[in-house]
Structure 1
């Protein structure tokens, strides 16, 4: 017998409910329409706290803890400042792609906290980005770099001398401002070089904002899916199991054979075997293709 307590959730549970979003980088512009359409909630932007204190992409303030911990802290601060029982936050990270290690990669995490029911639901989106930089003495090189980086739609940052110089100009979105910042950097620099990089803050980077939008779609999907055992939102894939057998020798491979769906509140779990394929290509088998 399943004694799991059934919560009184339904498809309209979050309709017209306010959720706190602490941001100073315009993330509400993509989060609000999606969550309003999909689950009916009202994203309320919370002010009164400088989120740059939690870490910056320009390396002047390092982020403390993991990406999900930073998102959780941001959501909690927004909830505390607003007095709301629902909190939402986004946190991004950048690094090399997980496949070749050669391309710049963006991972966006969204977290949803419901204090009333004691649940936390997260969603992730990731993909290629335009995290690039240039150290130069040439305006012609700067122009070419800016065009490649998607400027002026994607904003730029300029420093004198190198990537860790504390003197900085952010949010450059006009060619005249870029040229002025470039000239300023050369004048300030002992080595007569300017360091130019893409501004990865959400409002300054449409490529990153698109990943946030995709994460919001995934979050809305999770919030709309209720646990069949207890009725809590957030029922989703929590684990993928490797071991799809090789088509040639039958040995288990690293290919996914099943997905585990689970609840973020109770212990309900269901393992669903892969239906699109029964066997893995021998090229992915350690025995057939060591």
Structure 2
């Protein structure tokens, strides 16, 4: 079994980024959960960068569509922050929402944090996911709106209100108190031809504590990867990059779609190590022959 170098739980080993400053472009308070994680585990200082409205790259309220993939958006924000700060190190995070990968019944939040190091010429990505706090309701009744707000975690979780339907261009964001919510509800109903207000969670990071928790977990994943050094070139980011499938079924012995080994690869020199699975047999319930 491969032992990755520089495990982040070993406090006697200094990170190669110890004492470094890294640019973070955000306007939604993400530094509050990212900076403490990186300061403790990677010993670097997060430098908050302003001067660009990151909402221009896309919003979850659908008024500005995001161009490109989640990773591309995070990478673009990191590059912008580095340019504004004149830095060779930069990070940025980007989230996405969709059905959960297990049942497809719940909304799921995936967060990516991209670390770019132009000195070493590497990119490392921290990833985490979890159940999302993203609810919505179309109603003409203030009583129903109140019930919805409690369900959506208000006022700790902010809300967004629109007239008429979920894609109406008229919008009020960042609502975090009952008086403002009631006023926005009345405004939306009066503006709507159907007399309805559409309410939903504001999932910008500073308005959504549930999402902030997932961002913090992505920061911890990033820190772990940054402290995993390549056995060949000692660059950070030596991590699992691929799987080799074909773990044999415990019952019939036929190869399954379960991984029989993982491939760990360096993001800089591409050195890789194949790490066999600790499991020697796959459960029959996951065998396409025994359990078609």
Asked if these proteins are the same fold (TM beyond 0.5), I'd say yes
* Aligned partner (choices 276, 280, 283) of residue 281 of structure 1: 283
> What is the CA deviation profile of residues 50-96 of structure 1, one whole-angstrom value per residue up to 9, with x for unaligned ones?
00000000001100101100000000000000001100000000111
What is the correspondence of 1:37-76 to structure 2 with a 5 Å cutoff?
Answer: 37-76=40-79
The residue aligned with 1:115 is 118
Q: CA deviation at 1:14?
A: 1.0
Map 1:70-85 to 2 at 5 A. Answer: 70-85=73-88
Match of 2:4 in 1: none
CA distance in 2, matches of 1:210, 1:67: 18
Structure-2 residue corresponding to 1:136: 139
Q: How far apart are residue 123 of structure 1 and its match?
A: 1.3
8 A Cα contact 1:11 1:224, kept in partner: no
Q: CA RMSD in A?
A: 0.9
State which of 29, 33, 37 in structure 2 corresponds to 1:30: 33
> Tell me, what secondary structure is at the counterpart of 2:168?
coil
Per-residue deviation, residues 201-228 of structure 1 (Å, max 9, x unmatched): 0000001000000000000001111100
Shift in Å, 1:131: 1.3
Tell me, in whole angstroms, the C-alpha distance in 1 between the residues paired with 2:145 and 2:242.
45
Q: What is the alpha-carbon distance in structure 2 between the residues aligned to residue 63 and residue 241 of structure 1? A: 34
CA distance in 2, matches of 1:152, 1:267: 48
Give the aligned partner of residue 239 of structure 2. Answer: 236
Residue 257 of structure 1: how far off its partner (Å):
1.6
Q: CA deviation at 1:281?
A: 1.1
Q: Which structure 2 residue ranges, 5 or more long, are not aligned?
A: 1-12
Q: Which runs of 5+ in 1 are unaligned?
A: 1-9
Any idea what SS the aligned residue of 2:210 has? helix
Per-residue CA deviation, residues 93-119 of structure 1 (Å, 9 max, x unaligned), is: 011112222110101001000011110
TM-superposed CA distance for 1:243, in Å, is 1.4
1:146-196 per-position Cα deviation (integer Å, ceiling 9, x unaligned): 111111111000000011111111010001111111111111111100000
The answer for the alignment partner of 2:151 in structure 1 is 148
Counterpart residue number, 2:22: 19
| Aligned pairs (5 A) from 1:193-232 | 193-232=196-235
Structure 1 outlier segments of 4+, above 6 Å: none
TM-score of the pair, normalised by structure 1: 0.95
Partner of 2:255: 252
Give the drift of 1:267: 2.3
Distance 1:203 1:57 in 2: 13
Q: C-alpha separation between the residues in 1 aligned to 2:114 and 2:18?
A: 18
The residue that corresponds to 2:3 in the other structure is none
Counterpart contact for 1:260–1:272, Cα < 8 Å: yes
Paired residues in the alignment total 280
Q: Deviations over 1:230-281 (max 9, x none)?
A: 0000011111222111001001111222111110011211111111x21111
